[in-house]
Structure 1
Amino acid sequence: MGSGNVKKGMIAFLVPLPSILFYLSFQSGDPQSWSTSTLWAWCYHHPLLLLNLLFFFNVNLLFWLIALIQSSHWMIDPYWTVIPVMLVHYYASHPLGQYHWWRSRMVILLTWVWSIRLIHNYLRREKWQWGAREDWRFTDLSHQYGRRWWWASFFAIYVPHQVFLIGLSLPFYVIHSVNRPFGIWDLVATVMCISGIVIAYIADTQLYNYESRNKAVVPILEKGLWYYCRHPNYFGEQMWWWGLVVFAWNLGHGWTFIGALANTMCLAYVTKLVEDRMLKQDSRAEAYRLYQKTTSVWLPWFKSSPLGLQCKDA
């Protein structure tokens, strides 16, 4: 393990400390003094605003400044998998929290499983190195913005991540704000979340095996879950977030779907970027065009017959 990898690993573990230490100091304070302490009283009565402020200063500003120093925006990628875990514990431990114990523990456990799955996939894909490369979409944006990228990156990368992550995590807030008995819809939501995690894990593992062994021989991955849709990993990820929405909907707060909907729309755009990138590769373009014609985008479904398509075209 190189010194650069160790250094980036240390940075990754240290960067959330400002928010963690601040919140722990708030938690360890005397509740009786909150009425006389303006700061602690504000933290107590405005959990969502506090969360957004901590995110803005600790993630948006700090991560951005570190990225400018390192000339790489790699850190937001692994932290996409860590921040939801921190958010669910924040809501569960806030003094204003009131919730059904079993529902809370189920969601916390599922969030940890989701996070471990995703961080494992990130490290496996990056050959167990921290920050070996930044997301290719950020690199493409840097070429588009040129010299303006140093400041434009703040608004193109970090501000949207705050909107998405806090929006997606709104069901965590509802789950820890409403205390109702655990019911059948909670079971439905649990099954959706587990199914999403399992599907995403299988799809990512199949993609990793393909990239490692067969990419040079087979132009596109068209086996396993990838036989039934072109982006099964995205489908599994969406099932996870929409499963959380079902938890919140069951508690009377269906409005929290806005975070999952925004993420789905963003993922639709990312899907287009990924497929356009595939079509730019001469060795794979023809095979991928046929794959697009015969295979569903996200929802797993039976393939269309290439012969049938040719008859329709004729």
Structure 2
Amino acid sequence: MGSGTAVSNMKNAILAFLVPLPSILFYLSFLSATNGSVADPKSPSFTSTVWTWCYHYPLLLANVLFFFNVNVLFWVIGLIQSSHWMIDPYWTVIPVMLVHYYSAHPLAQYHCWRSRIVILLTWVWSIRLIHNYFRREKWQWGVREDWRFTDMSHQYGSHWWWVSFFSIYVPQQLFLMGLSLPFYVIHSVNQPLSIWDLLATIVCVSGIVIAYFADTQLHNFVSRNNKLKGQGKPVVPVLDNGLWYYSRHPNYFGEQLWWWGLVVFTWNLGHGWTVIGALANTMCLAYVTKLVENRMLSQDNRAEAYRLYQRTTSVWVPWFKSSPLGLKSKNV
């Protein structure tokens, strides 16, 4: 790593640590001011009115903080840097911040062990995902943005500066706030633990473990191919061993299990409506899956092998191999 790259890496790291401070400081000020109670309505002031609103509407407050601190601030930083890289690592951080936000809110009421289990699971999920992100980025901050954002910037050209706000950040709020709805419900309902909490925990842990091994196998595959390419040798066109032997996207499957496991927690608490976040994310991942596979098919050295892989391997849910239609006809 050159000195210029090292300086840029350090600047981006410092920026990433400083950028959530407005929301954190505002929330700490709110907690300090209310001290677990509503401001006195007999002596209203602008500040007390704000704190009272924050007290009564925790879900709306979370969305307001997200809008200004993530949508607006991240977008402005992205325009200045000509790269919208920051939302990727923060996808793994924001759920952790939200689960602590909901658990610390003065109106929160919950079963302490359910809360502790969910908070611990969220930290484990986040650490796994942030580790995978920086491992993929070679432990550097802000080297590149998501390839889909880059493709869209080419597509929209001079309009990208404002389109990026609505195509990157607004959807991020909808998805992340929707996916994090179980955190809100878990810290709004106090019911005894049941067998459903155990089932939810098993589903969440299974998702984290599957995603970890799938991402590790993918990382090792990419690393080996990069090494082969550096040696001037032909690369392996398709990863089809390990979990990838049974599923074309086991990492996506694991990620889905994690979010649906959180829904099981809230379904048992009588708030099945929280399924909307996981369902929307599943639909989004279905679209992302199509984009990824089209990208693979657009590469001449991989297209034929990947088409065979598509015909024989399950898309998401790990399952046994099926025989390609071509091979079946030859055996008739």
Would you call these one fold, judging by a TM-score over 0.5? yes
SS at 2:145 equivalent: coil
Partner of 2:19: 15
Q: Is the 8 A contact 2:110 2:190 kept in 1?
A: yes
Partner of 1:125: 136
The counterpart of 1:290, out of the listed 289, 304, 308, is: 308
Task: Report the residue type matching 1:25 in the other structure.
Answer: S
Per-residue CA deviation, residues 277-309 of structure 1 (Å, 9 max, x unaligned), is 000000000000000000000010000123775
Is 1:79 aligned with 2:84?
no
Partner of 1:299: 317
Partner of 1:96: 107
Q: Tell me, which stretches of 5 or more residues in structure 1 are unaligned? A: none
Name the CA shift for 1:192/1:287 in 2 (closer, same or farther; >3 Å). Answer: same
Matches within 5 A, 1:125-164: 125-164=136-175
Task: Report the residue type matching 1:34 in the other structure.
Answer: A
Task: Report the residue type matching 1:90 in the other structure.
Answer: Y
Shift of residue 70, structure 1, vs aligned partner:
0.1
Per-residue CA deviation, residues 214-247 of structure 1 (Å, 9 max, x unaligned), is 4643111001000000000000000000000000
Corresponding residue pairs, total: 314
- Name the CA distance, whole Å, in 1 between partners of 2:297 and 2:78: 31
Is 1:24 aligned with 2:31?
no
Task: Report the residue type matching 1:239 in the other structure.
Answer: L
Name the CA shift for 1:51/1:303 in 2 (closer, same or farther; >3 Å). Answer: same
Q: In angstroms, what is the RMSD of aligned CA positions?
A: 1.5
TM-score calculated relative to the size of structure 2: 0.92
Aligned sequence identity (%): 78
- Name the CA distance, whole Å, in 2 between partners of 1:55 and 1:81: 14
Q: Is the 8 A contact 2:12 2:141 kept in 1?
A: yes
Name the CA shift for 1:279/1:313 in 2 (closer, same or farther; >3 Å). Answer: farther
The counterpart of 1:274, out of the listed 292, 295, 298, is: 292
- Name the CA distance, whole Å, in 1 between partners of 2:279 and 2:38: 41
- Name the CA distance, whole Å, in 1 between partners of 2:208 and 2:330: 38
Per-residue CA deviation, residues 144-184 of structure 1 (Å, 9 max, x unaligned), is 11100000000000000000000000000000000000110
- Name the CA distance, whole Å, in 2 between partners of 1:172 and 1:270: 25
Task: Report the residue type matching 1:10 in the other structure.
Answer: I
The counterpart of 1:46, out of the listed 48, 53, 57, is: 57
Is 1:61 aligned with 2:91?
no
SS at 2:143 equivalent: coil
- Name the CA distance, whole Å, in 1 between partners of 2:161 and 2:135: 29
TM-score calculated relative to the size of structure 1: 0.97
Partner of 2:218: 207
Task: Report the residue type matching 1:287 in the other structure.
Answer: A
